Amino acid sequence: ALSAGATDIVFKIGDDIPVIVGEPVTLQVDEDGLADGNTDSGQTGEQDFGGQVTANVDLTTVFDVGADQPGTFQFTSGAVAALNALGLTSDQVAITHVLAGDTITGSAGGNDIYTIQVTAGGTLTVTLIDQIDHVDDPDDEETNLSINLGALIEVVDEDGDALSAGATDIVFKIGDDIP
């Protein structure tokens, strides 16, 4: 009988890592849907952004964890700092962000403006609570403010491999309300 030495046969197993599998997604909310918003009435300058104040997406349609199941979805460690660096305002008051559990809340002057929630299972929900300042449009038309969330959200597989999406792969859009 012939036997091999302990190092003569090597068995290698490649690590599986998460990958991006879906198309970019947009979560659209609209100030027209707020309690004190002006419902679209067909006047000049209005855009139909849907009138909704909550939007969600299943992140498992964007990320594939691969073989190292289960994966955990979460905010990246720099998510709050990145959102604070955007310089967003509500009624000319700076919006600051705080992470508590699985939810980031943006608030200004003690008033909550919006929340962004990422559950461990992969549900991303954005909720608009109050108005956010938009760039003034010279034609008094409603505009859409885009906040790129992709690089702020990641999936971590069972053995610790992490992947965040590209900055524009997940976009939170807030439709403006005009008088």
pLDDT tens per residue, range 41-95: 777 777 778 889 999 999 999 999 888 888 999 999 999 999 999 999 999 999 9
Alpha helices in 54-162 (DSSP H): 79-84
pLDDT tens string 8-41: 777 777 777 888 888 899 999 999 899 988 877 7
In this structure, the dihedral spanned by the alpha carbons of residues 155, 126, 133 and 130, taken in order and rounded to 10 degrees, is: -150
CB neighbours of residue 97 within 10 Å? 21
| Cα of 80 vs its chain's centroid, Å | 12
CB neighbours of residue 75 within 10 Å? 21
